[in-house]
Structure 1
């Protein structure tokens, strides 16, 4: 287990272009031609995060429309504290956040109408050194 690095200067949040959605489909669904940015097998089905236009074209139900922000700071999968810091900062601004940890980066899915506010909040964390 690693402790949180106190240097936030490399947090570097990046807002991806486009609208992304969460959807749930049967586990056996062929996703081979889709740009799936995250997936999770659950008892109820296969949760996918993908571009909205692909979900619509595939006829998938849309559960949540969102913006995708990647924290370009490399974070270890066993590090402690980083998620709590940015989740608390976003919560203080009443911005919900769904977090997916990648091998190298954390990915945040935030409400579309709060994407710019979320990005500003994360940039302030970066400059304030609070993460």
Structure 2
């Protein structure tokens, strides 16, 4: 199944879910520096370093540096990787509330990382978008 492409259906049926925990973005030179790959939520290789995202308590345990503590919101609707406009729609809804977001599009769902202090406000903005 390739997921939903229709923006109106995506917006009407998305269910924003605030996942438990605090998440941080850290960098390492390579994944050999990571004690346990299973504890990483995701990683992305860039030319400068490897960005890893993981729970804050694990980063603290591993003595990794970070500067941004975020909450993780999952949009529970199977959106197609070819869907047009979903990211723009929720990014604009968050922008109206002065909330920055870091987006990860995975195969089944879109995931949004927002500053921990903005998590509840972000959920409210996403539900307002859904209900309009």
> Would the TM-score normalized by the shorter structure come out above 0.5?
yes
Deviations 1:46-71 (A, max 9, x none): 10110000001011111321000000
- Alignment map for 1:108-127 (pairs within 5 Å): 108-127=112-131
User: Which of the two has greater helix per residue?
Assistant: 2
> 2:43: which partner in 1?
39
| Separation in structure 1 between the aligned mates of residue 5 and residue 117 of structure 2, nearest angstrom | 33
| Separation in structure 2 between the aligned mates of residue 86 and residue 96 of structure 1, nearest angstrom | 11
> 2:62: which partner in 1?
58
Report the TM-score when normalising by structure 2.
Answer: 0.89
Give the deviation of 1:3 after TM superposition.
Answer: 5.0
Per the alignment, in what secondary structure is the counterpart of residue 9 of structure 1?
A: helix
Give the deviation of 1:37 after TM superposition.
Answer: 1.5
Deviations 1:22-46 (A, max 9, x none): 1011113235354212211011111
> 1:5: which partner in 2?
7
Q: How many residues align?
A: 127
Unaligned runs of 5+ in 1: none
Give the deviation of 1:113 after TM superposition.
Answer: 0.5
Whether contact under 8 Å (2:5, 2:80) holds in the other structure is no
